[in-house]
Each structure stands twice: as structure tokens, then as C-alpha cells.
Structure 1
Amino acid sequence: MAKSVNQATQAKAKADAVGQARALAPEVPARIGSTPATKFRGNPEIFGRLVEDHDKHRALLAMIEATAPNDPARKALFEEFVRDVHGHAAAEEQALWSTVMRNPETTEFARHAVGDHHKLDKLMADAAARDITSPGWLTHFATLKDEYLEHILEEETEQFLEAEKVLSEADQRYMRKVFERRKKAEKAAAVIEKKIALKPVA
């Protein structure tokens, strides 16, 4: 079981994650509002580290939505979001879900999370293939934003809780180390694919 984290630690962890996003474009507001309650925010092990990235991604999504079509910050923020999510998802699969999937009690939760990653890949490629300076681009981006926020809500309120039941604290500490190493490598190697989805991504 993850150790409980006090509110001040949780608030600092969230502010630090948002700060990572804001550093890319300090002039763009990062209004993410309230976030789903989770006991993992600020936790030093794997689930806390994943929530840290989620909060950074929430901020990036809010900032992208706040940009004007011709604002160069929009492209920079979107590209950071795509590369960071690619690195995060690949490292999460390697560090966490590959192990959790082997346990019959949690196989379905792991499969669902990995399936969501593939769906998000298609939505990111679709948004990347469209004219980011077009007034209508945010319409396509909104689908990606909604799907991503739904995905991380499920992870934080359901899938992580189930995965935690089959992992020791030592497992979780080790997984964080694996995640940190793999995310750095996967993000560095990430390629922004561009492919229009000819039909709605299911």
C-alpha cells in the first residue's frame, strides 16, 4: 500500500509538475483547475511519478488550448506534449504494465491501459497532421484532450489502485527507477507521427 501523503506535499507536487509545463511558455496561462483526488500525488514511488507526469500533461493541454492559432507557443507546447506522452506511455508499459499484465487478477486493467495508449497515439498523429495554425485545429485537439484526460482519470482512480494490490513497496520503488531510465530514452527517440484519421478513433 502506498504511504499516505499530506496535503502540503500533494500541493507542492502538483505545482512543481505544472511548473515544468509553464517553463516552456511562461506567458501562456496554465489553468488546470481542480484535479481528481488521488492518494498517489507526491508519493515517491512509481504511481506518484506517473501522476507527476499526468499533472504536467494536464497543464500542457490547458496551455495549448489557451493559445491563438498563430502563436508559436502552440506548436512548441503541442510537440512537447506528444513527445512527453510517447516517452511516458512507453516507459509506463515497460516499468509497470508489463509486470501487472502477468498477474491474472490485473491483466484486464493493464490491457485496457495499454489499449488506451494506442488509441491516443492515433489521436496525436491525427492532430499533428492537421494545420495547427487553422482556427478549426482546436476542434480536433479537443477530442485528443478529452480522451487523454479520461485515460489518466481511469488510471489514477481505478487502474493504479488495482495494480498496487499486487505490487510490494520494493516492486514500486524498482519500477520508478526503471520508469525514469526508460522515459528519458523513449522521449529522446520519440517521433511525431502525422496521419489523418479517416474515421473516428474507437
Structure 2
Amino acid sequence: MPDIFERIRQDHDAARQLVDEIESTTERAGKKRDELFETFKIELWAHNRVEEATFYARLESKGEDEESLEAKNEHHMLNSLIEELDTMPKDNVEWSQKFHAFAELLSHHMEEEEEEFFDLGRQVFSSSETEILGKEFDSRKDAVKSAIAPVE
């Protein structure tokens, strides 16, 4: 079973792949772009919420409030941009440019987590805590995704 660091990195890698797929679409592929973005949006919202409830909440419990608050603020900014992108028509250059700017912010955030926050987590969590957090992350993410997925 992957620990919390592996689970977060797996989600980051999946997000990077979806970003690449979305950015490779053209304005003429509005329907395909919309489908990819819908999947991406749900995955990212679920990831952010569960990461805050598991990884960042545990960092806070260990006295690492400053780092946790920084990451939560970045999540808030990313989620705001996702909501804005979600309301825009996806078959135009404006959407493409805004998504690209969003993707750059997301990439910076993920790199910072993987390079700085993971190191901090490894300093303050025991190996058994990281395994428990990984399991908790998985179970909560499945529940959140089910709760926020559109009803068909």
C-alpha cells in the first residue's frame, strides 16, 4: 500500500498527464476538451480537499501551520481558477490561454509540495503515520469523488 507521499505523487502525475492532454487539444475540439476538463476538475477538487484533510491537517497537528496554510491558500487560488475555467466556453483561445496560466501555477504548486512539503513531512511523520495517511487518503478520495461527480 502506498504511503501518503506516493499517493500524492501518483495524483500529481495523473494531473500532469491530464494537463498535457488538455493542452494538446485545439479550440475545434471543444467537446473533447470539455470531457477532459470535467475529469480533471473532479480529480483536482477531490485531491485538494482530501490532501488538506489528511496531509495538511496532520502537518498542522505537528505544529507546521505556516506551510499548511500556504498550501491551502494555493489550493484556494487554483480552485477559483478551475471554477472560472469551468464557466467559460472551452472552444476558444481565451480559455486555452487561461488554462495554460492555471497549469503553470498548478505545476509550481505540485513541485513545491514534492520538494519542500514532502521533506518536511518525512521529518515530522513516522513511517507508520505515512502509511496510515496513505490509506486514509485513498478511502477519503474515493468518497469525495463519488460525492462531487455529476449525477447522470
Q: Percent identity?
A: 29
Amino acid at match of 2:144: E
Which structure has greater helix proportion?
Answer: 2
Tell me the secondary structure at the aligned position of residue 44 of structure 1: coil
Match of 2:54 in 1: 95
Size of the aligned set, in residue pairs, is: 149
Q: How far apart are 1:164 and its partner, in Å?
A: 1.6
Q: How far apart are 1:191 and its partner, in Å?
A: 6.4
- Of 61, 68, 82, the residue aligned with 1:124 is 82
Kindly report which structure 2 residues correspond to 1:109-188, keeping only aligned pairs within 5 A, or say none: 109-188=67-146
Match of 1:33 in 2: none
Q: Distance in 2 between matches of 1:135 and 1:183?
A: 33
RMSD: 1.5
1:69 to 2:17 alignment: no
Amino acid at match of 2:142: K
Tell me the secondary structure at the aligned position of residue 101 of structure 1: helix
Gap runs ≥5 in structure 2: none
Q: How far apart are 1:44 and its partner, in Å?
A: 2.4
Q: What TM-score, normalized by structure 2, do the two folds share?
A: 0.92
Q: Distance in 2 between matches of 1:148 and 1:180?
A: 21
Amino acid at match of 2:39: E
